[in-house]
Amino acid sequence: MKNIVKNTLLVLATALVAWGMTACKQDPYKYEVTKGAPVIKYIITTDPAAADSVITEASTEAVICIVGENLRSTKKVFFNDLQAIINTSYVTANTMVISVPAAIPGAVSDKIYFHAENGTIVEFPFHVAVPGPKVVTTTCEWVKPGETGHIVGNYFVDDPNVPLQVIMPDGKNAEVAGFTQSTLDYIVPEGCTDPGLITIKTIYGSCQSNFVFNDNRNILIDWDGKGQSLAKGAGWRDGSKAYIGSDKAGIPALDGNYICFGPDKLGPGATDVWGEDPFSFNYWPSASGSPAPLDAFPEFAEILSKNDWKSLKMKFELYVPKSYAWNAAGLGVYLTDFATVSAEAAGNGFFTNAAFPRAYYQPWADNGAEFYTDQWITVTLPMSAFAYNQDGNGAGPITADYLKGLTMFVWGGGQTGTECTPAIAIDNIRIVP
């Protein structure tokens, strides 16, 4: 059998090359459907490392090779009740390379159906294995009891005998408020505030979230001063010149106090308004250790001892009300070293230093329309994002020395928008794996 399969792969490769050469000489889009019906012999994987074995099942989205005779007589292919896409570039008389549909079948027959040119339907036994659920992202990592969380991923499925479950870090089951194959809404149970991973279970398996619910790891500034975190910044603008509190522009508190930039005038250009007081805060530590650099905070120091700093991410929660939508300038996030700015050497010249790298969050420019959330969302900035100057051009990269101080300023980014009066609330600034 191994020799047969290996020979099949050789025939497949040769046939595809030959087809390509012929197509180049003739019509590259011409595909002739042959008469009669296909004959299916067996199916193999396209993975060369596992190509010695005939397979009888594959997961959704897997690429497989069907081996037989007269395969070009096939007009349609169905896996269970789902039609697959036939790419005629990968079909010869004896081989057909095809992807198993990504969707979950509604009616499972464990068969592939080949619809022939002459109307015949040829059946071949084959099992499509549906993977367990997986999580890609969430709208917000901090969701209050009674409120609805939103998860994006894949393979969320309910079954009468094995219902879809969302299990919170404290073991409580959350109510499933709605779902599709790729999205899942859940209502946080009353009293459920413990941080940790969420578990999702389906009939096909289970997974844990790739985010931490109520993530309280290494919070650097939360505007409340809980644990190691700070109630305000340090420097020319500690945040109080903007706003520190829990009730501004109709924005509900997420977890105690937050900072709010604005509402105040911005735009239309990225640097039209130099509103440093209403739109910025600084944390400029001292080289002498008081105030301490961020990378000396106990939780941060421990994270840095166990992880490559380049793999870390800055996260924070953000809220922009619709009544104060955002449509100009980017939120510049500056990680700073002592050589740039400190308590002893204060200054804002690095804003206009084209060689100084910073990250920009400007969702209105990405979406091409005014931006608002009307709910708290989680923003994630990988360390690789700290690589732009005030015009949005490349700068940097940063080094580990830049993990000393922090500034946020809604200014720059290089994009022209529309004059607006936004309110941008931020809470729970953290750097985590």
- Rounded to an integer, the average pLDDT of 311-336 is 98
Q: Quick one: pLDDT band at residue 51, thresholds 50, 70, 90?
A: low
Distance from the Cα of residue 57 to its chain's centroid: 30
**Higher-pLDDT residue of 409, 1:** 409
Alpha-carbon gap, residue 424 to 363, rounded angstroms: 12
Is pLDDT of 19 > 70? no
Q: Quick one: pLDDT band at residue 50, thresholds 50, 70, 90?
A: confident
The pLDDT assigned to 68 comes to 97
Are 126 and 56 in contact by the 8 Å Cβ rule? The answer is yes
Helix (H) or strand (E) run with residue 69 in it: strand 63-69
> Within 81-178, where are the H helices?
none
Are 77 and 94 in contact by the 8 Å Cβ rule? The answer is no
pTM: 0.87
Nearest CA-CA partner of 332 in 313, 307, 360, 352: 360
What is the percentage of the chain residues whose pLDDT exceeds 90?
A: 89
The pLDDT assigned to 30 comes to 63
User: Look-up: residue for tokens 């992202």?
Assistant: 137
The pLDDT assigned to 349 comes to 95
Helix (H) or strand (E) run with residue 300 in it: helix 298-306
pLDDT tens digit sequence for 237-280: 999 999 999 999 999 999 999 999 999 999 999 999 888 999 99
402 dihedral zone (left: phi>0; alpha: psi -120 to 50; beta): alpha
The pLDDT assigned to 396 comes to 83
Give 234's DSSP letter.
B
Alpha-carbon gap, residue 311 to 214, rounded angstroms: 21
- Rounded to an integer, the average pLDDT of 48-57 is 84
Alpha-carbon gap, residue 84 to 112, rounded angstroms: 10
The pLDDT assigned to 44 comes to 96
